[in-house]
Amino acid sequence: MAFLTSLILAAFAGYIGAWYFGAVEGNFALLLFLATVVTGIYWLAERLYFLPRRRRLADAHDAALAKRQAELSRQGITQVDTNDGKARERLVMQPWWLDWTAGLFPVILVVFLLRSFLFEPFKIPSGSMMPTLLTGDLILVNKFTYGLRLPVINTKVTEGTPPARGDVMVFRYPPNPSMDYIKRVVGVPGDEVAYLNKKLTINGQPVSKELAPEFFDEDAMRYLKQYTENLGGKVHRILNDESRRAGLSEAEIMPFPNKENCRYSVEGVICKVPPGHYFMMGDNRDNSLDSRYWGFVPDKNIVGRAFFVWMNFGNLKRIGGFQ
């Protein structure tokens, strides 16, 4: 068993290493699921077989020792070199290969359940959601608001509350579902979303947008126009870059399902959101690769609702909730 366990642990380590160096596309949900299953099997084997077996060996050792002492006492020998208890301790002690599997199962199980059904941590990798979220923010994603989903296969098992306009949502990137993306929900099923000349309109109604103090982008070392937007009752800030055009070139637009629902022009884009899909945009409107480029997010790709910054090692003042 020690050799088999070594192979299993080496396989896990090899996969993680290949993922780290970019040799394979990692899937943390699958990795955590497999780790839970494997350590769970070892935990059951430990409880039902290995631990009772070690205890029987220890009891047999104690019985043999007691029999020897009784025989020596019968012969009148009272001063004997008795066992100090360390032999039994060594017999009952868990071997390393069980310590690294069955011993880790409770911790891995708790992490698996929390991450799969309650909250998942997520790191903001870019500035597409500035000024709401900054690069390096570590956030929590609510996994149950939009309905519980089975890990790995992402199949919904409870309905929950549908995503609403203004929600900040994490989802599987449609062109590459192995990647997680974060954007703001702008259009829900049935909406007609228009973003023309950097003005957002939903179902013919302009979204409230008021000028705010300029935002200083520390990465680019420049100021950007900042606005306060009220989308679905959620008041948040957005950025506009006056040096960027409103429309998209044909080369920038990817092929995507239901592309016929969108009309592109030099002014921007107008899209009709199909059933079971959502139109997503970043708060950094002119520096966000979002639904304008790659289309709609299907319900099956939803991961959860982002709601809290729990850490930013470069700026502790970032900790807190957001809209």
Active site residues: 128, 183
Give the residue among 266, 252, 268 at the shortest CA–CA distance from 198. Answer: 268
Structure-block tokens of residue 246? 């409103």
Structure-block tokens of residue 306? 């982002």
Structure-block tokens of residue 58? 């220890």
Start-end of H helices in the chain:
2-20, 28-45, 51-74, 86-92, 96-99, 105-117, 291-294
Cβ–Cβ under 8 Å, residues 160 and 166: no
DSSP letter at 103? Answer: G
Cβ–Cβ under 8 Å, residues 297 and 186: no
Structure-block tokens of residue 256? 């995507």
Alpha-carbon distance of 277 to 101, in angstroms, equals: 41
In the chain, beta strands by DSSP E: 119-123, 138-142, 168-172, 180-187, 192-196, 199-202, 205-206, 208-217, 222-231, 234-240, 262-265, 268-272, 277-281, 297-298, 302-311, 320-321
Other CB atoms within 10 A of residue 189 CB: 16
Q: Which residues contact 200 (CB under 8 A, 6 or more apart)?
A: 186, 193, 194, 206, 207, 209, 229, 231, 281
